[in-house]
């Protein structure tokens, strides 16, 4: 238990450090708000790929009472997937996740065009790559060290993993639109960046806390 708690604390620091590193990179490259948005979008794609790997490997049993979601998955309630093969659950996850991810990508890509009154310049590909790399490292380390290294896959059910990333997209949608509104009012991309980083960091830390609680609950059970 103590080892799991230490890993959780390390992962928490990793999540916070990744977000702070992304802020420093954006500051260094003259506050490129569009680059930050695209980096967040790419990070969401990497998270999706990690969850595909998690669901495929999951060997635990799902508790129906712990499966909650605001939306159906491919027209069905998430609980209806309990007991189905992991491959079928992966297919449902990819279909749902990819649709939302691609839609959000179209929205983000068009921000400099749609928001003509906001001084947001199109992102530099090199800055996007650097910021995205700083963000995804903690997710990859968490997967290898906690999910595989700590053998969490033996205790996590595939359906609980199916619905887990939902809050991340909700927070990212809110950050994008609230950040754009702040930038429009302030006529400065700095305001958008502050809102984006604040919302994103809070969402990441809350999501990490939920994931660790589920993992520890699985250990206790």
Which DSSP string do the residues of the chain spell out, in sequence order? -HHHHHHHHHHHHHHHHHHHHHHHHHHHTT--HHHHHHHHHHHHHHHHHHHHHHHHH--S---GGG---SS-BTTB-GGGGTTS-HHHHHHHHHHHHHHHHHHHHHHHHTHHHH-TTS--PPPPHHHHHHHHHHHHHHHHHHIIIIIITTTGGGT--HHHHHHTTHHHHHHHHHHHHHHHHHHHHHTSHHHHHHHHHHHHHHHHHHHHHHHHHHHHHHHH-
Q: Taking the model in full, what pTM does it have?
A: 0.82
pLDDT of residue 56: 95
Spans of the chain, pLDDT less than 50:
1-3, 114
CA angle 101, 104, 105 (to 5 degrees): 85
**Which range of residues forms the domain containing residue 216?**
2-220
Q: What is the dihedral of CA 45, 48, 49, 51, to 10 degrees?
A: 160
Q: What is the dihedral of CA 101, 157, 56, 104, to 10 degrees?
A: 0
pLDDT of residue 214: 65
pLDDT of residue 14: 77
Across-strand partners of 93? none
pLDDT digits (tens, 9 = 90+) for 27-84: 888 878 788 888 888 988 999 999 999 999 999 888 887 776 655 666 567 888 888 9
137 and 18 Cβ atoms separated by less than 8 Å: yes
Q: How many domains, in total, are found in the chain?
A: 1
Per-residue tokens: 53: 């790997």
pLDDT of residue 1: 45
């Amino acid at each position: 238990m103590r080892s799991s708690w230490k890993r959780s604390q390390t992962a928490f620091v990793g999540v916070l450090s990744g977000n702070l590193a992304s802020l420093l990179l954006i500051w260094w490259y003259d506050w490129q708000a569009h680059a930050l948005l695209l980096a967040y979008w790419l990070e969401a794609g990497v998270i999706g790929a990690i969850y595909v790997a998690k669901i495929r490997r999951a060997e635990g049993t799902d508790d129906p009472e712990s499966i909650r979601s605001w939306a159906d998955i491919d027209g069905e309630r998430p609980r209806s997937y309990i007991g189905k093969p992991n491959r079928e659950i992966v297919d449902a996850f990819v279909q749902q996740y990819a649709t939302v991810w691609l839609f959000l990508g179209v929205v983000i890509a068009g921000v400099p065009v749609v928001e003509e009154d906001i001084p947001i310049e199109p992102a530099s590909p090199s800055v996007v790559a650097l910021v995205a790399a700083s963000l995804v490292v903690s997710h990859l380390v968490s997967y290898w060290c906690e999910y595989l290294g700590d053998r969490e896959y033996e205790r996590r059910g595939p359906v609980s993993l199916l619905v887990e990333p939902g809050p991340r997209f909700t927070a990212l949608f809110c950050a994008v639109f609230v950040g754009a509104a702040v930038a429009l009012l302030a006529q400065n991309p700095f305001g958008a960046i502050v809102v984006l980083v604040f919302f994103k960091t809070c969402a990441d830390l809350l999501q990490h806390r939920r994931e660790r609680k589920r993992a520890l609950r699985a250990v206790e059970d």
